[in-house]
Every structure is written in C-alpha cells, then in structure tokens.
C-alpha cells in the first residue's frame, strides 16, 4: 500500500453516495484526511474555506460537471490539483481536460493502486512545484522538467490507454522513439511485443519483406518462412520510425493493412488477422509531405489519429541542466572517468547553443567533454562542438545566476532595447507575442509592480516570423 504524504484533506466530489463511500473507505485506508461534496457548488465552498490538498471529482454530475468545476477553481485562483474520474470518458474529453491543466484523469473502474499513485503524483508535484506540475518526469529515460513537455507526456499517458494510432513529429534527436516507448510502457499492451523498424534505414527493396514477411517458396530464394515486423508485433505495438521515408507503392500496402487489420504474407493464401497498435514517427511535417505528393493523404489520416509534436531542445532550455547531469553520469561510468558535474561558464555555453541536433547532439558534446576532462568538473575548455570550437553566449550567465534569472534578464533586456515594444522584442527573440505575455505575467507575479501592465493595442502579426534567439528558441 502506498504511504500517504502528510497533507491537508482530500476532497471527494461525487453525486453518487455509493461512490463517495467507496472512495472514502479506500482513502481512509491510505491514511488521508477526507472531506466530501455532492456537487460542484458545495465543493467550491469547501475549497474556499480550508486548505484542500487534492480534489477528486466525478466528471458527470447534475449542474456543474467535473471540468466546469476545475475551470472554476482556476478562475478563483485556487491552487489545488484536480483529478477527474468518469465512466463516460473518451480520449477527446481526456485530452481537453489535460490541455486545460487538469492534473490527472481516471476512467472507471480503476484500482485502488491506480488512485493512490495519482494522488501521490499530484501531492509531490504540487508540493515541490509550488502549485504547478513542474517536477521531474522519467519514463524509459525520457527526462524533462519543461512544463510544455510535461503536459505532452501527460497527454501521451492518457492516450496510451486507447488503441488509437499516434503520429509523433519532431526534429531529429528530440526523442521521438523514447516517447513512443513511453506510450507503450503506459499502455495495456505493455506486456506484449514492442517491435520497431526504421523505414529510412532499410533499403527500399527489402522494406516490404521486413514489414510484411513471406512464405517459404514465395519466390526464388525464399527457402524458409519469414515473419515480418507486423506479424512479430501482433497483439502488441509496432513503431514505424521515419515513416515519411516509405515509398508510395509500399504506402498503399501499409494502408490496406491498417484498414483491414489483416496481413497478406507473400505466397500465403490465407490472410493473418492483426490486433496491433501503430505508432509512427517523422522528422518532417507529414502534412507538408502530403501536399508535396510524397505521402498518401488517406494513409496520413490513418496514422494521424492522435498527433504529438515534440518541441526542439532550444524551446525547452530548462531541460539542458537536467540532461547534462544525466549524460555526465552515464558517460563517466561508461568511460571510467572522474567527471561528475559541470561548471557554470561551461553550462552557459550549452544553454546558449541552438542545438540543431537536439538531445542527441547534446549527448555527443557531453561524451566528448567527459573524455577530455581529467577532474571532477567539466569546464569550458572541455566543450567542443562538431565544428571543433565552442560558441559564445550572447548574454553570458554570471556566477550565481539561475537559468530562470538568465532567461528573465534576456527578455527584459531585449524589451528595454526595443523601447518596451513587446511585439518587436518577441520578434527579435524568435518567440510568439503570447509567450512574451506569459513570461511577463510570470515575472510580474513574482515581483508585482516590476513589469508595466500590457497594452491592449499590441497584437501579433501572423506575418512576423523573426529570427530565433539561440537561448530561447521558437515560441509556442
């Protein structure tokens, strides 16, 4: 049984007396103090009168439903993690809830262990993050503390419970395969096969037999039956890595497999039924490939049931220290080196880089640095990029400056340089005006009065793309 953290009461909101009683019994066994409410209005009164640590609410209730209740807690600025439960859930409503900021989403019936784990995650995240789910998440070595990436992982975890096909887009080196494995490990098929094939790495003439297999004697040289990757993955999950590299003629056969959910092995008279979950990845925007005539539109829609786009590393610079530490430990252990940390100036170099190769490039740079180092601390002299020389940070991070402070100083300095014009400053930094406004609100919340109120006249032009600043990346 999961040990309860020391917290305030957990609030159960459900119009069903039997469900309230069952949850109360379970949570009492876990050691939580409890409160209950029969509807949203009653729940809000309790939230405003005392400190609630977690709210667990049903989705479907008379009057105010669970999602509306969550929205009201946000409107009233109540920093309470909300877990929604429902027997009427769909992937669409779950994703909507996660996008709005609901901490977790449980579909009935769920086990006591599942409920306990959800509550523990909420308590840890909100206690460590000061009211935001900004803690460290790890799933099959997918490490992040970036809020946008954490939200993506949470949505991926929700969608993992379904059999929906998932299309993961992202630049090379962002961790698309790791995210695919994250989905797999959080799915009901986690105990079933996970088979991956890189469509760009297999020669075109061999890819068909690798995917679909053949029977003995199907052609000259077929001396034995060869099961394809789809057959090997049957009952489990198949990952079609870099699916945009697949030839159009093979795309037609893949489409039929996905439509009919059966496999025709070359030389076989009987199709093989398939029960399979499909995840595809691409480092190029697949819809652009469709418009260019390089990818079938009907296949695109089959794969793109639930799209996920992983942001590049330059858009989540808060992950760089976390990843650097992880890579140092791994590389030092593998190469029997003493390195265990990185100096502030060296970290500044890494934070200021654009990272076109993303996480994979960062890992290679750290591997070289560890090999060059002789002591415990990696310095600037150990940082070599692919071109052989380190780059300079436009605004170096001084000793004692946190990454949050460096980002704030960069944004405010650019804003001052542009005479307070948010639109111009955002364009120079390569972020959206929405990101600029969100950042300024964050700084204002921490230090009221330090940032002037926004002008309603400034709007983001859809034509303004601007250049990308290496320390901030593209806006989201």
pLDDT higher for 388 or 75?
A: 75
pLDDT digits (tens, 9 = 90+) for 103-126: 877 777 777 877 887 887 777 666
Return the pLDDT at 450.
61
Domain span(s) for CATH 3.40.50.2300 in the chain: 10-135
What share of the chain in percent tops pLDDT 70?
81
Q: Distance from first CA to last CA of the chain, Å, rounded?
A: 40
Tell me which CATH code domain 153-309 carries.
3.40.50.300
> Which of 171-185, 311-325, 394-408 has the lowest average pLDDT?
394-408
Distance, in Å, from the CA atom of 472 to the CA atom of 427, rounded to the nearest integer, reads 12
Contact present, 308 and 91 (Cβ < 8 Å): no
Return the pLDDT at 120.
78
Q: What is the mean pLDDT of residues 81-96?
A: 73
Q: What is the mean pLDDT of residues 163-189?
A: 93
**Strand ranges for 237-375 from DSSP E:** 237-241, 262-263, 272-273, 277-282, 306-309, 341-342
Return the pLDDT at 227.
85
Please state, rounded to an integer, the average pLDDT across all residues of the chain. 81
Beta bridge partners of 83: 56, 104
Give the pLDDT band of residue 286 (cuts 50, 70, 90). very high
**C-alpha torsion 336→338→343→345, nearest 10:** -60
Contact present, 342 and 324 (Cβ < 8 Å): yes
Token pair of 312 as six digits: 């590049």
Return the pLDDT at 82.
92
pLDDT higher for 296 or 129?
A: 296
Q: What is the mean pLDDT of residues 428-440?
A: 74
Distance, in Å, from the CA atom of 229 to the CA atom of 195, rounded to the nearest integer, reads 7
Distance, in Å, from the CA atom of 90 to the CA atom of 352, rounded to the nearest integer, reads 42
DSSP strand pairing (142-144 vs 166-169): unpaired
Q: What is the mean pLDDT of residues 194-216?
A: 88
Return the pLDDT at 236.
92
Distance, in Å, from the CA atom of 257 to the CA atom of 234, rounded to the nearest integer, reads 12
Burial 212-235 (b: 16+ CB within 10 A, else e): bbbeeebeeeeeeebebbbbebbe
Examine the pLDDT at 250 and tell me if it is beyond 90: yes
Q: Quick one: 18 exposed, middle or buried, by C-beta within 10 A (0-12, 13-18, 19+)?
A: exposed
Distance, in Å, from the CA atom of 103 to the CA atom of 56, rounded to the nearest integer, reads 10
Helix, strand, coil content of the chain in percent (nearest 5): 45, 15, 40
Which CATH class, in words, describes the domain spanning 10-135?
alpha beta
Give the pLDDT band of residue 185 (cuts 50, 70, 90). confident
Distance, in Å, from the CA atom of 367 to the CA atom of 361, rounded to the nearest integer, reads 10
What share of the chain in percent tops pLDDT 90?
42
Contact present, 164 and 92 (Cβ < 8 Å): no
Length of the chain: 476
Tell me which CATH code domain 314-382 carries.
1.10.8.60
Return the pLDDT at 451.
66
**Measured between alpha carbons, how far is residue 425 from residues 153, 249, 311, 402, 418 in Å?**
31, 48, 22, 22, 6
Domain span(s) for CATH 1.10.8.60 in the chain: 314-382
Return the pLDDT at 46.
93
pLDDT digits (tens, 9 = 90+) for 293-338: 999 999 999 999 999 999 999 989 888 988 998 899 989 998 899 9
Identify the three-state secondary structure at position 84: strand
Q: Quick one: 304 exposed, middle or buried, by C-beta within 10 A (0-12, 13-18, 19+)?
A: middle
Q: Give the predicted TM-score (pTM) of the model.
A: 0.61
Name residue, tokens 């060296």.
Answer: 346
């Amino acid at each position: 049984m999961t040990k309860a953290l020391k917290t305030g009461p957990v609030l159960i909101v459900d119009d069903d007396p039997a469900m309230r009683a069952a949850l109360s019994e379970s949570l009492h066994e876990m050691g939580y103090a409890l409160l209950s409410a029969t509807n949203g209005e009653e729940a809000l009164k309790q939230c405003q009168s005392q400190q609630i640590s977690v709210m667990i609410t049903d989705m479907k209730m008379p009057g105010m439903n669970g999602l509306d209740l969550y929205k009201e807690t946000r409107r009233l600025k109540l920093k309470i993690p909300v877990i929604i439960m429902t027997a009427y859930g769909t992937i669409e409503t779950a994703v909507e809830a996660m996008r709005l900021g609901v901490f977790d989403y449980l579909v009935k019936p769920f086990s006591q262990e599942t409920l306990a784990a959800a509550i523990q995650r909420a308590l840890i995240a909100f206690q460590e993050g000061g009211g935001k789910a900004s803690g460290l998440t790890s799933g099959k070595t997918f490490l992040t503390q970036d809020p946008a990436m954490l939200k993506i992982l949470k949505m991926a975890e929700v969608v993992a419970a379904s059999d929906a096909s998932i299309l993961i887009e992202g630049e090379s080196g962002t961790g698309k395969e790791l995210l695919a494995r994250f989905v797999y490990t959080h799915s009901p098929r986690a105990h079933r096969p996970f088979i991956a094939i890189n469509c760009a790495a297999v020669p075109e003439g061999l890819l068909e037999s690798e995917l679909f297999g053949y029977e003995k004697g199907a052609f000259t040289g077929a001396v034995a039956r060869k099961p394809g990757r789809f057959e090997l993955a049957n009952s489990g999950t198949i990952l079609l890595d870099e699916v945009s590299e697949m030839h159009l003629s093979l795309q037609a056969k893949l489409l039929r497999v996905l439509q009919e959910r059966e496999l025709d092995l070359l030389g076989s008279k009987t199709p093989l039924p398939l029960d399979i979950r499909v995840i595809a990845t691409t480092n190029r925007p697949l819809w652009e490939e469709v418009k260019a005539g390089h990818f079938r539109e009907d296949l695109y829609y089959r794969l793109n049931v639930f799209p996920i786009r992983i942001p590049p590393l330059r858009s989540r610079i808060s992950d760089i220290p976390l990843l650097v530490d992880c890579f140092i430990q791994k590389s030092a252990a593998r190469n029997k080196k003493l390195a265990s940390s990185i100096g502030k100036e060296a970290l500044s170099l890494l934070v200021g880089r654009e990272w076109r190769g993303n996480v994979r490039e960062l890992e290679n740079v750290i591997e070289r640095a560890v090999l060059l180092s002789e002591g415990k601390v990696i310095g600037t002299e150990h940082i070599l990029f692919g071109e052989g020389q380190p780059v300079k940070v436009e605004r170096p991070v001084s000793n004692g400056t946190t990454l949050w402070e460096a980002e704030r100083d960069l944004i405010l300095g650019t804003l001052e340089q542009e005479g307070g014009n948010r639109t111009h400053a955002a364009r120079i930094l390569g972020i959206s005006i929405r990101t600029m406004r969100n950042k300024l609100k964050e700084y204002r919340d921490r230090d009221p009065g330090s940032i002037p109120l926004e002008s309603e006249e400034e709007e983001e032009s859809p034509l303004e793309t601007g250049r990308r600043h290496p320390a901030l990346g593209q806006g989201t």
